[in-house]
Amino acid sequence: MMAYAVPQNIDYRTKARRALARARVELASADDERLPYAMLELRFAMEAITYDRAQAFKEDLPYEEYRTWQPRKVVAVLAGIDPAS
């Protein structure tokens, strides 16, 4: 049997804030060539928020979702969780 590491708590909100700050710097440059970098930083911020929400529901997420840990898959699983139950 293969041993799996238990997912640890990571401060994804701080990661999201830092990515957002970097995106703002890119946008403030007013250089159109920096826009792809701003978009990439915004994507990092959105992914970090997705992972933050996943951590909040980690008891409800199948371990397989942690192994693949792709934002689209995590969002799909989170959408199916009923926090009231």
Tens digits of residue pLDDT in 18-36:
999 999 999 999 899 999 9
Q: Which of 55, 45, 36, 56 is nearest to 15 (CA)?
A: 45
Instruction: Record the pTM.
Output: 0.71
Q: Are 35 and 26 in contact (CB under 8 A)?
A: yes
Q: What confidence score (pLDDT) does residue 77 get?
A: 73
Give me the residue label for tokens 């009231």: 84
CA-based max dimension of the chain: 55
